[in-house]
Structures are given as C-alpha cells and as structure tokens.
Amino acid sequence: MKKLMTLTAACCVAVSLTGVAFAKENGGMMMQAGTMGAQAGTSALTDAVVKKVDAASSMITIKHGELANIGMAPMTMAYKAKDAGMLKAAKEGEKVKVRVENVNGTLTIVKLEKR
C-alpha cells in the first residue's frame, strides 16, 4: 500500500511538472485539459474592441472577451493578423467580433467582422 501511495504521488508530481513545462513553452498560458479539442471545431466569434493596429508588425491589439476555443480569459493583447486586409479594415476604437486560433504556434486573428 505504501508503494502504491508513493507511486501515485510521484505520478502527480510528474504530471504537474509537465504542465508547468508546457506553460513555459506556450508563453506562460496554462490551458485546461480538453479545451482545445472540444471547442476547436466551433466557429464562434468573440466580442472585442480594436485598441491598436500595427501594420509594420502585422499585429492588432484587441480587448476581448473569453476566447473559449484557446482557453484564454478576457484581456487586452496583440495578435497576429491573418492577412493584410484585416490590418486595413480594423480601426482603433472600433467594436468587432473576432476568431483567434493557434496557427503554427502563433495566436492569430483568423476572422474579424465589424459589429
């Protein structure tokens, strides 16, 4: 019984350390297990406000609600724009709906619609 408890404790520590390593590799973001797979197929849009458009870096800073498909809480953050058309269409202060996805390791706005 003592060996079983020791083994169980060791497994829990290993799983915890794996989660910490994953978070460090992903910009410090801890995601809940199953979040990506369960909601990756949905195409829900999230309400957001454009805070800044930086055409030179192809980044758009938005203040957004929860991005459930990637397990991200509401916040203000800069994201890569999928294409130059989004950079031209987005205006600072404008209310939009967005879809952010992980594209080749980069959080990217893949859809942007004006509200």
In terms of pTM, does the model score above 0.75? no
Residue boundaries of the structural domains of the chain: 1-30, 38-114
**Model confidence at 3, in pLDDT bands (50, 70, 90)?**
low
Please write the tens of the pLDDT for every residue from 31-78: 444 444 334 445 799 999 999 999 999 999 999 999 999 999 999 999
In the chain, at which residue ranges do the beta strands (DSSP E only) sit?
46-54, 59-64, 75-81, 95-103, 106-114
Mean predicted lDDT score pLDDT of the chain: 78
The β-bridge partners of 77 are 62
Domain 38-114 matching CATH 2.40.50.320: the answer reads yes
Q: What local confidence, expressed as pLDDT, does residue 39 receive?
A: 42
* Tokens (6 digits) for 30: 């801890």
Range of 4-18, 24-38, 67-81 with top mean pLDDT:
67-81
